[in-house]
Chain A
Amino acid sequence: MVPDTAPIFPGRRPLAAMGVAILLVALFGGFASARFRHAGEWVPAIPNTIGHWESIDSPIAAEILEGLGNPPTISKMYVNPLGERVYASVMAVGPFENYHDPMVCIAGGGNFSMTAREIFPLDGPGSGKIRAMIFRRRDGAVRMLMYYWQQSRDGSTDTSARMGNYRDMLARFDTGLGAVVIGRQTCLMRIHAFIRPDDPDGVQAQRNVEEISRTIYQALRRDAGLEPLK
């Protein structure tokens, strides 16, 4: 029986259609990369003075920034007349290599472990949610309180991690859709203070971090052209 074989060289039309489809998806990749870069171009200014807090520039180490893909960053240390310190950093985030989560980066180093974690609205009902975490050094000598959130230019906030490739896929898809399709611009906020030994419950540290965080949150909204929350 002679096999009913089609010619080994396929028809031009289906082959051209496949070539066009691959070309389109490759171009979409380039477009998506450009949009991710655009998403990381919003670096909102944060106030130099907040009440009786004065700020000093406190740049992040170059090696750390290199590991994050060198995103544009503003980092400050706020000091009050009592000598208490609160550290705040704004990092414009585009591609996912910029999204390092404190739960992984601080706790993953092996020196600190996360002892508490809570998500709540920062500035009352209707305001954006943030994630508060307490990290404790293994020897128990140092404790750190950190407020962390992702602030979008449209006013929304998000607290979920985006570092894991497969574990955080849904959160990554949300960011990808926002950055590529909607054109959303985002920055990462990290505001932290070390809890002093004379503050066993961390009440004073929380008060300080919260004061700085709320003011910066309102400043970010103003920078984005949004009305301040009442």
Chain B
Amino acid sequence: MSTNAATIENSPPTTATDPRLMFFRRHAIWLVVLAPYLLAWWLPFVWSWNRWTNPAYVLFFQPFVPVLAVYLAWTKRDRVTQVWKRYGKRSSQGFLMRGNALPFALGIGVLAFAHLVQIKGLAVIGLLLIAWGVVYRFFGARILKALGLSMAFSLLAVPPPDSIAEMVMRLCGRVTLSAAAALFRWLHVSAYTSPDKADTLIFSERGYTVDYLSAQAGLGVLSLNLLLLFCRGMAGGFSLLRLTELLSVLLLSVLLTAGLNLIRVMVAGMMGGNATELSRLLAHNGWILLLMGGLSLALSLAIEAGVTRAGRQVALRRAMKKARPRRASVSTAEPAPEPPASTVVAPPTATVADRPKHAPRRPPVRVNPFGVLAAGWKRSEMAIEKGFRMLSRRKRRRR
């Protein structure tokens, strides 16, 4: 008997008590909706497959949107729980606040219509309406509002009309080629764009051309970069400071990717006469650009991290400065009245000798290559924000 009891005590937690398994068991009921919902994504996914797998296509980022939207919703889980605990689904709430199945039904209708007309944009709108409709039906309008950021973000999964996407791509390709031609001329290499639509870069001496299809190839990677940075920015919450940070990092990513793409087009053009195969590889293989995109994303994120960290350090220093007691106030102020004896807490009696020998050390400060720049940038941002605050205070006073 005793050996059996010991075995039970030492054995790992059984499946019945495993908290992770319990979590899945408790939420398994959602599979009733989730499984058909994923199945319903199948056709819009098939319709968009060719475009979503092409890194040169401007909507290359779209398959990542639902995943990032779920991540954004996950970052807001504390807020959602707070709202649910506070309001719940009160029976006293009105019809609209309590939630109903109308958006869900509308989503089903839109999706069915999209299957008839085979428009992928409509199908995605229908699928998003279904997802929001399920949340609204079971948790009401307040929870839906708490998830508003994730919902707004998920709208990026809706493909715009093809004509607009193609127009953007063509424009970006032509701008890249025009910039490359101007740079070549500056380097005294005879290259010019075709006169009518500027969609081809012609090297008159080398007898090689770069068409706009290969020049626009960095666009998909750029859009994915922007999406990831945007998602990161949204997950961090909104403030003037945060918004400036986000915009500056987005701009930096655009400049980096566009610059790298320009260099790629120029290198492909320069090598046209000498190393044709390598040039073709550079010009037409869009997957190579993922490396460039990854590099530019990593750089952007590093700079963002540097800016955020520098901002935190500056804010911490300012807070410590504020918290430090002023000498004048100490000397002139009346001594504070002593608290009653019952509330007096005994002061800590520990001395230097009592301190643990291996006190936790402060983590070593890593040298940030962008630290100086980032701190300066952060200080200027904070000055701008301070200026805005002062302006708003003055306005209030005038009123």
Footprint of B on A, CB under 8 Å? Answer: 3-6, 8-10, 12, 14-16, 18-23, 25-26, 28-30, 32-33, 36, 95-96, 110, 164-166, 169, 172-173, 176-177, 180
Contacts and interface: CB of A to CB of B under 8 A. Distances in A.
A15 B32 contact: yes
Given A16-B32, A19-B32, A22-B108, A5 B90 contact: yes
B104 interface: yes
B40 A3 contact: no
A19 B119 contact: no
Interface of B: 26-27, 29-30, 32-33, 35-37, 39-40, 42-43, 84-92, 101, 104, 108, 111-113, 115-121, 130, 134, 137-138, 161-163, 197
A119 B366 CA distance: 75
A95 B40 contact: no
A228 to B, nearest CB: 33
Nearest to B110: A25
A182 B350 CA distance: 89
Q: Most B CB atoms within 10 A — which of A30, A172, A176, A177?
A: A176
B89 A5 contact: yes
A36 B117 CA distance: 10
B26 A9 contact: yes
Given A3-B85, A172-B118, A165 B162 contact: yes
Contacts of B137: 10, 14, 18
A14 B37 CA distance: 15
Contacts of B85: 3, 5
Given A5-B89, A9-B29, A33-B43, A176 B108 contact: no
Contacts of B112: 25, 28
A176 B118 CA distance: 8
Nearest to B87: A3
B117 to A, nearest CB: 4
A32 B116 CA distance: 7
A8 B119 CA distance: 36
Contact of B134 (A4, A18, A30, A169): A18
Given A14-B137, A95-B118, A96-B118, A25 B40 contact: yes
Given A15-B32, A166-B161, A6 B89 contact: yes
Contacts of A166: 119, 121, 161
Contacts of A8: 84
Given A26-B36, A169-B117, A173-B117, A4 B43 contact: no
Contact of B163 (A14, A21, A25, A164): A164
Contacts of A25: 40, 108, 111-112, 115
B88 A5 contact: yes
A173 B122 CA distance: 13
Contacts of B88: 3-6
B84 A5 contact: yes
B43 A165 contact: no
Contact of A19 (B33, B138, B161): B33
A34 to B, nearest CB: 11
A135 to B, nearest CB: 18
The 3 A-B residue pairs with the shortest CB-CB distance, nearest first, are A5-B88, A176-B116, A23-B36
B36 A165 contact: no
Contact of A29 (B101, B115, B138): B115
Given A6-B89, A10-B138, A14-B137, A165 B119 contact: yes
